[in-house]
Amino acid sequence: MRRGPARPKYFETKVLFMLRRLLICFALLSVASCASTPKIGGAPGLNVLAGSDMPAPDRSDLMSHDERPYYVGPFDKLTIDVFGIEELQQREVQVDASGRLSFPLAGVLEVAGHTPGEIETMLKSRLAERYVRDPQVTVNLKETVSQVVTVEGQVKKAGEYPVIGRMTLLRAIAKAEGTDEYSKLNEIVVFRTVKGQNLAALYDLRAIRRGVYPDPEVFANDVIVVGDSKARRLFKDVLQILPSLTTPLVIALQ
């Protein structure tokens, strides 16, 4: 009895052989890249020291000097305390959709776009006009809804995170619990709208971590997108299906 042609078997074996060679080359390249020592430093004002030479921060260093003021917006929640008036102590107030809040004896105030300190001054003035002698007012932010940054893409926990004080790209990604195994670290895009113009900037997270250039500041309403490494997904998928491969496999890289 004559046997059929052996070409399909030959091609299947050849494809398996080529895939194995491809995976071995990829592994060798990965090891070589890990073995090289990355350059550290380059950002202006960054001094690179040996670990043993790193000084401890003093008290002034632990007090932040670059905190950005927080501007209250719609739906933010504030805690307002008027000293000496029991009914007006530790009151939780939410700013409405139009950026206003209502407070006993003070009436309605336009607070959107003002800092908590400025709102304190506004309340003091309004209460003093309405027979509260020398009012002592404290305003604290309890919960922010209006001032958030959006982090999405290949991070462990995408979502919206409050921006209180100074926020940087690394801090924002840390809020999202960091990048995942499929993240493409040299494709971090920050979208921002400035005076009606839509802007986008591309960053390399590895370069920032090495101090090649400074960790950029991000602002409320920014959208941060962490790129997806298609190559990593491809090789993981190939490794999963390789043992059971029975037909030629064609992979298109785009």
Same topology, domains 37-43+147-249 and 77-143? Answer is no
Q: How many CB atoms lie within 10 A of CB 76?
A: 24
The class level of CATH for 37-43+147-249 reads alpha beta
Q: How many CB atoms lie within 10 A of CB 99?
A: 18
Question: Of the ranges 48-57, 103-112, 168-177, which one carries the lowest mean pLDDT score?
Answer: 48-57
Cα 29 to Cα 229: distance, rounded to the nearest angstrom: 16
Could you tell me if 190 and 169 are in contact, meaning their C-beta atoms sit under 8 angstroms apart? yes
Exposure pattern of 171-203 as b/e (b: 16+ CB <10 Å)?
A: bbbebbeebbebbbbebbebeeeeeeeeeeeeb
Question: Of the ranges 70-74, 78-82, 236-240, which one carries the lowest mean pLDDT score?
Answer: 236-240
Cα 188 to Cα 169: distance, rounded to the nearest angstrom: 9
Could you tell me if 72 and 78 are in contact, meaning their C-beta atoms sit under 8 angstroms apart? yes
- Spell out the domain ranges in the chain: 37-43+147-249, 77-143
pTM: 0.63
CATH superfamily name and code, 77-143 = wza like domain (3.30.1950.10)
pLDDT at 194: 83
Note the pLDDT tens digit of each residue in 83-101.
988 888 899 999 999 999 9
Which of left, alpha, beta for 99 (phi over 0: left; psi -120 to 50: alpha)? left
